[in-house]
Structure 1
Amino acid sequence: MKNELQSYEIVDLCLLAGKIMLQSGAETYRVEDTMTRIAASYGLHDTHSYVTPTGIIFSINGQEPTKLIRISARSTDLEKVTQVNDISRKISSGDINFEIAIKQLKQVESSNHAYPIWIQIIASAIASGCFTIMFMGSWYDFIPAVITGGIGFTCFVYIHRFVELRFFAEFLASFIIGVVAYLFVKTGTGQELDKIIIGSVMPLVPGLLITNAVRDLIAGHLVSGLSKGAEAFLTAFAIGTGVAVVLALF
């Protein structure tokens, strides 16, 4: 198989699979393992990969030119991660050839599995109300939390479209959540300010990022684990600061 395909073609296939997975929220160890398995399936057993949240470096025994891919944007799309894993398994078992594999990976890269914005907003609103109840809030605060969470997530989505800095969007969204929750309590529509705010900010909390950071640290990927942990900390700091400003003002 190695003689039929050029080494650089195999490397490009591995990098494309790794890029899709890393951009979709996969763990560092999973990305490296998938790339290594794909290369081994085509006869390249002595490969080396170095994955960070912002880039992938892949090399073959130090002889072929080392290639680098820059990762500038990351999101959460576990469906793409699952699809790339499925393609990797088919490559390893020999069920698909190189041309079909590269075609399927490009289709996965160009696909969009995200729900429409209005569905995301409704889901976040309902989740906010449920989190409020879960954190021992009263049913009297359920509707205020639903409205507050929906408004906060809507602000986050549209602010992030105009401002590329994610932390700034999270800060403003949490600030707006605090203001809306305060207005509900002030007018007597809501009862417990802290429960409404806690439930409403939960859709903004970087749960997957924290999980991946801990998993990478346990697996020994210290650079990726620490960088993801720092990103999660900054996100939590932005959310907490937005709420703290409201509490300090009112």
Structure 2
Amino acid sequence: MRVGGIMGKADDVMDICLLAGEIMLKYGAETYRVEETLERMSKAASFTNVHCFATTTGIFLSFEEKKEKEDLMQMVRIDDRMQDLSKVTDVNQVSREFVAGELTVEEARQKLNAIANAPMEYPLWLIHIASGVAGGGFSYLFGGGWFDLFPAFLAAVVSSIVVVEFERYLKVRFAAEFTAAFFGGSTAIILVYIGFGSNLDQVIIGSLMPLVPGVPLTNAVRDLMSGDLVAGVSRGAEALLTSLSIASGIALTISIFL
């Protein structure tokens, strides 16, 4: 096994490319964008015969060094998927600077590690409040009244808190979404029952808005339109399972309380 030299450079480039792709896929980037980014970074490092294949759960990358005529291939598996598009934007900026020759391999590695280890841009309490605002807004948008804003806000906050905390311990997102839909719907029904709000359907809709799989569904459509059928179908299946989890949680709530 050679250390340093051409293969050392190839290994280093492979590492930063896969790290960039892992961050992008983990935090909500489309698969075709990941593939394009990794291919451009590899070609900017003077490698040829570059091929990248990304799915929602893994990335395969291979390229060839001109002088050695040896192919190097590695893969990385993506176990967790979250939504933080600011990190995707940061990785895109690093890739642009690397392709333009403004960053060395080591500088790119340091920046990517900093992005991967950085905390979320917004604190959890602000995310929960924003979820409540979105829930109240959508309850009004779907025909609710002004008096429905407050119970929808509270129910959406409950849903947001439950899905985050339960996923942290259960490690199964669909179970966390089912539980969050149950608690959010229960909160909505209880608040309307005791006199806060008058349109139950709209309040329940508001409580579910933090759980709606908007980014996975959008990415599924974009992947399908770009020809990435495997990634598009898998993302669509993920969005469908999330929708079924939400529907099941609300169905259980309604069967118990109504």
**Which TM class, normalised by the smaller chain length?**
over 0.9
- Equivalent residue letter for 2:62: S
Contact 2:137–2:206 at 8 Å: present in 1 too? yes
In the alignment, does 2:146 pair up with 1:139?
A: yes
1:80-112 CA distances to partner (integer Å, 9 max, x unpaired)?
111111111111211122221111111111112
The Cα shift of 1:197 comes to 0.5
Give the gaps of 5 or more residues in structure 2.
none
CA distance in 2, matches of 1:4, 1:210: 40
CA distance in 2, matches of 1:4, 1:55: 24
Alignment match, 1:119? 126
The Cα shift of 1:5 comes to 6.0
The Cα shift of 1:4 comes to 9.3
CA distance in 2, matches of 1:221, 1:55: 14
What is the TM-score normalised by the length of structure 1? 0.94
The Cα shift of 1:178 comes to 1.6
- Equivalent residue letter for 2:52: S
- Equivalent residue letter for 1:220: G
Bigger shift: residues 224-233 or 146-155: 146-155
Q: How many residues align?
A: 249
| Deviating 4+ runs (over 4 angstroms) | 2-5
Alignment match, 1:42? 45
Any idea what SS the aligned residue of 1:53 has? coil
The Cα shift of 1:114 comes to 3.8
- Percent identity, aligned pairs only? 41
Q: 2:165 aligns with which of 158, 168, 181?
A: 158
1:95-152 CA distances to partner (integer Å, 9 max, x unpaired)?
1222211111111111123422211111111211111111111001111111111122
CA distance in 2, matches of 1:150, 1:52: 32
1:11-59 CA distances to partner (integer Å, 9 max, x unpaired)?
1121111111111111000000000000111111311111011111111
Alignment match, 1:129? 136
CA distance in 1, matches of 2:9, 2:168: 41
Any idea what SS the aligned residue of 1:232 has? helix
CA distance in 2, matches of 1:30, 1:177: 35
Alignment match, 1:68? 75
CA distance in 1, matches of 2:93, 2:203: 41
CA distance in 1, matches of 2:192, 2:254: 13
The Cα shift of 1:70 comes to 0.9
Any idea what SS the aligned residue of 1:66 has? strand
In the alignment, does 2:17 pair up with 1:14?
A: yes
Alignment match, 1:204? 211
Give the gaps of 5 or more residues in structure 1.
none
CA distance in 1, matches of 2:94, 2:138: 37
In the alignment, does 2:187 pair up with 1:184?
A: no
CA distance in 1, matches of 2:161, 2:116: 26
CA distance in 1, matches of 2:198, 2:41: 56
Are the structure 2 counterparts of residues 157 and 163 from structure 1 closer, same or farther at C-alpha, using a change threshold of 3 Å?
A: same
Bigger shift: residues 146-155 or 181-190: 181-190
1:177-226 CA distances to partner (integer Å, 9 max, x unpaired)?
22121112222322111100001101111101100000001111111100
- Output aligned runs, 1:22-61, within 5 Å: 22-61=25-64
CA distance in 1, matches of 2:186, 2:7: 64
The Cα shift of 1:65 comes to 3.7
Any idea what SS the aligned residue of 1:80 has? helix
CA distance in 1, matches of 2:132, 2:70: 54
Any idea what SS the aligned residue of 1:95 has? coil
Q: CA RMSD in A?
A: 1.7
